[in-house]
């Protein structure tokens, strides 16, 4: 019950104060399952892309973090082939006080600003670090192919 009340309150907060560039849709039959979209920033390597992901809240939320899975392919050092994103607050830095709006903002920031540190995809991270031009070209190509 705690999870449901908390999620409904946070959903109302997000609806009342939307995050620019992030859209959420809650499953009709389950408030713990969200379909989300991050629209890439104009100064991002993924410019013009819309990246879909699922945010699934465990029944013991907020004591356990949500699970995030991208359903849109993205050429990103922090997102693996299965669509899992490498974000500390969804792993070892999770605290029950973290709001879902913060989670969404962190995901948006991570998508828009790929960094080679703490990668899920070491090869892509190495390319970003050593050959940024090639990384940007591939990121742009994948965005055009999968996210527009």
Active site residue ranges: 86
Write down the residue that tokens 């920033």 correspond to: 41
Rounded Cα distance between 138 and 144, Å, is 10
Which residues, other chains included, contact 63 with Cβ-Cβ below 8 Å and sequence gap of 6+?
96
Which residue intervals of the chain are DSSP H helices?
A: 2-16, 100-112, 122-130, 132-146
Phi, psi of 63 (to 5 degrees): -80, -20
Residue 54 corresponds to which tokens in the numbers above?
A: 């699922």
């Amino acid at each position: 019950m705690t999870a449901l009340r908390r999620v409904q309150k946070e959903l109302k907060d997000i609806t009342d104060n939307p995050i620019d560039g992030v859209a959420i849709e809650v499953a009709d039959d389950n408030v713990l399952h969200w379909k989300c979209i991050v629209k890439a920033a104009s100064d991002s390597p993924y410019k013009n892309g819309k990246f879909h992901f699922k945010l699934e809240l465990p029944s013991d939320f907020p004591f356990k973090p949500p699970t995030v899975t991208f359903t849109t392919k993205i050429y990103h050092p922090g997102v693996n082939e299965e669509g899992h994103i490498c974000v500390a607050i969804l792993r070892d830095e999770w605290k029950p006080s973290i709001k879902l709006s913060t989670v969404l903002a962190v995901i948006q920031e991570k998508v828009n600003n790929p960094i080679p540190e703490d990668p899920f995809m070491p090869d892509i991270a190495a390319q970003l670090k050593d050959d940024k031009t090639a990384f940007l070209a591939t990121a742009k190509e994948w965005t055009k192919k999968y996210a527009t």
